[in-house]
Structure 1
Amino acid sequence: MIKINFFKDLKYLFKRFVLIANVLPTLFGFLLAWKYYEVSFTNYFPSFLLLIIGSGMLVAGALACNNWLEADVDKLMERTKNRPTVTGTMSLKTVLGIGLTLSISGQLILLFINFEVALYGWIGWFTYVVVYTIWTKRRVTWNTHIGSLSGAVTPLMGWAVIEPAFHVIPLSLFLIMFLWQMPHTYAIAIRKYDDYARAGLKMLPVVKGYQTTIRRTSIYIALLFFVPFMINHLSVMFYLLISILNLAWFIISLKGFQTKKMKSWADQLFISSLIYLMGVYTLYLIFV
């Protein structure tokens, strides 16, 4: 029973879906570079393993540090009631120790791959833990932009295992990830509006209202139309399919202006955001 409870605590501490959602784009960036440069997977397999382990530990460490920093507000929210910092099954000292140990270990493992991978990992960790969690989340509504920056560097980490990420393909993915996370996060903030309002966190729907959130959601999704055209050497089918995917998500965003059932619309926006991102990943893997 103790072991079961321990692993259950880790599941909530590391926010398992958030952990997976941050590691997968890293692996995707690697696979895309591997395909693009047509290098031997066998030669890069040790680095691939280090990438999985290092990025997983670094993200898990950042999430644990986030739990430690937000223990006071987590007690006020329904969505975070099962975190060990709220239930008391782990002390704050233990959570901090886990967070720092995993963060440092993950960073060192990424450094074994190369400096660029480790640099992107550090940027992601610092922006999420320090700039987002400590400096902005309780103060300003544009905290979402900082959190989005943290998640957007993940494809760059994967690509940089094979070649420097200052290349139009990984940079386009960086922009897609950055813009995508705003509507995705706004959808979560609307779905959990009462939690954020009770905790006093400066999420856009809580501070500026639904109409402002819908407008900004539509703007960010509209901007996504232009990003794939940064890459000018792919087939017409790629641009057609990704534009159709973008248009479908944009239409869903516009529905927010016509509905009074905001949480129902936010559910649609959230689910469609996941479908959109998986569609983009698939199209990149097929055509790039």
Structure 2
Amino acid sequence: MKKMLTDGQLLESSAAMPEKAIVHDVLTTVKIGIVNSNLMTAFTGVWLALFLTGADFRASLSSILLVLIGTAMVIAGGCSLNNFIDRDIDVLMERTQERPSATGKLRGKTVLIMGFSLSIVGLLALFAVSAVAGWFGLFGLLVYVLVYTLWLKRSTTMNTVIGSAAGAVPPIIGWAAIDPSLNSPVPWILFLVLFLWQPPHFLALAMKRVEEYRRAGIPMLPVIAGFDVTMRQMISYVAVLIPTSLLLYSLGPVYTIGASLLGFAWLGLAIYGLKTKETIKWAKMMFVYSLNYMTLLFLLMVISIIF
């Protein structure tokens, strides 16, 4: 038999539910998945800078913690502002219609204040580490909120491409915490890798959700140009991404071999899209593979530098 709950336990349980709901709504609004993935790339920038510049880990520990906290807060703030701006179109898409900013669980004013507060505190943390880290944090925030969300997203198919600059800066921010001079080509290569990775990743998502984007009036490439053009562009980005990722061959054979296998496997899957009739299924496969590719590639960077 199930154990009966006392009145006190019932009250405690009912009180805990709103707290959990609030936490869930906040984490959804700041897009915690995006925060975590960007933190991984920022940490990779820190990690490679530590090893390749010979910096002392213990002496740099406070800078490392501060740059990671600052990066997380700036990204969380930018995502909150994105949700505030997009709450009118989010209700039109199945993927986003349950966002607290779209349902009204969090008022627009609350989301706006949260976005500005997180962004400002995060930028202050980055500037405390180094001016270079702070300026790149501000650059990424402005590109994501003003250039991408407010302007390009609703006006051109180039939204994904130009907006990719925002998602590519975390490794540079991480590197700048250790080496603000940015004289090494490594942080710039990391930027290019992430810049080239994002279009095929987001175009795969746009193909999966093409009817939702069409209903919301967002001019994603599959909506405007169709699937064939979109697939060929995705192939082009993956093809250029492979040699770009291999510019980091100095990290050693473990990375070079692993990056080659991951890249050519993705290219093979991309080309397969031209032959298959199950386009949506293929787009889902491309989307999932892109996530695994990025995670494994940056994990290889972290591991390879040790050996």
Q: Give the TM-score normalised by structure 1.
A: 0.95
Deviation of the 1:236 alpha carbon:
5.1
The farther-off stretch of 233-242 and 194-203 is: 233-242
State the Cα RMSD in Å: 1.5
1:165 is aligned to 182
Matched, 1:52 2:68: yes
What letter corresponds to residue 300 of structure 2 in structure 1?
Answer: L
Flag the 1:166–1:185 CA change in 2: closer, same or farther, 3 A: farther
CA deviation vs aligned residue, 1:154-196 (integer Å, no higher than 9, x gap): 1000011111334211111111100001111111111122221
CA deviations over 1:94-115 (Å, ceiling 9, x no partner): 1111111111111111100000
Residues 255 and 300 in structure 2, CA contact (< 8 A), matched pair in contact too: yes
Mapped contact 2:266–2:289 kept (Cα < 8 A): yes
Pick the aligned partner of 2:240 from 192, 205, 223.
223
- Residue 195 of structure 1 aligns with which residue? 212
Alignment check: 8 A CA contact 1:23 1:59 kept: no
Q: Out of 86, 106, 125, which is 2:141 matched to?
A: 125
Query: In the aligned structure 1, how far is the partner of 2:31 from the partner of 2:280?
Result: 22
TM-score normalised by length of structure 2: 0.89
Q: Could you tell me which residue of structure 1 aligns to residue 55 of structure 2?
A: 39
Q: Which residue number in structure 2 is paired with residue 180 of structure 1?
A: 197
1:207 counterpart = 2:227? no
Superposition deviation, residue 116 in structure 1: 0.4
Name 1:91's counterpart in structure 2: 107
Decide whether the 8 Å contact of 2:249 with 2:256 is kept in 1. no
Query: Aligned letter for 1:165?
Result: L
**Structure 1, unaligned stretches of length 5 or more?**
none
Equivalent-residue separation in structure 1 for 2:291 and 2:107 (angstroms): 34
Aligned residue among 281, 292, 299 for 1:275: 292
Q: How far apart are 1:242 and its partner, in Å? A: 1.9
Residue 282 of structure 1 aligns with an amino acid whose one-letter code is L
Change (3 A) 1:90 1:36: same
Q: 1:166–1:200: structure 2 CA closer, same or farther, 3 Å change rule?
A: farther
Check whether the contact 2:44–2:301 (CA below 8 A) recurs between aligned residues.
no
Alignment gaps of 5+ in structure 2: 1-16
Query: 1 CA distance for matches of 2:127 and 2:107?
Result: 30
* Aligned CA distance change for structure 1 residues 248 and 46 (closer, same or farther; 3 Å): same
| Count of aligned pairs | 288
| Deviates most, 123-132 or 76-85 | 76-85
- Is 2:27 aligned against 1:7? no
Alpha-carbon shift at residue 274 of structure 1 (Å): 1.8
1:19 aligns to 2:28 (yes or no): no
Counterpart residue identity of residue 186, structure 2:
I
Q: Secondary structure at the match of 1:257?
A: coil
| 3-state SS in 2 of match to 1:202 | coil
| 1:120–1:156 Cα contact (<8 Å) kept | yes
Residues 247 and 93 of structure 1: CA distance in aligned 2, closer, same or farther (over 3 Å): same
Structure 2 CA distance, aligned partners of 1:165 and 1:280? 22
| Moved >3 Å (runs of 4+) | 228-241
SS in 1 for 2:154: coil
Percent identical pairs in the alignment equals 37
Letter in 2 for 1:33: A
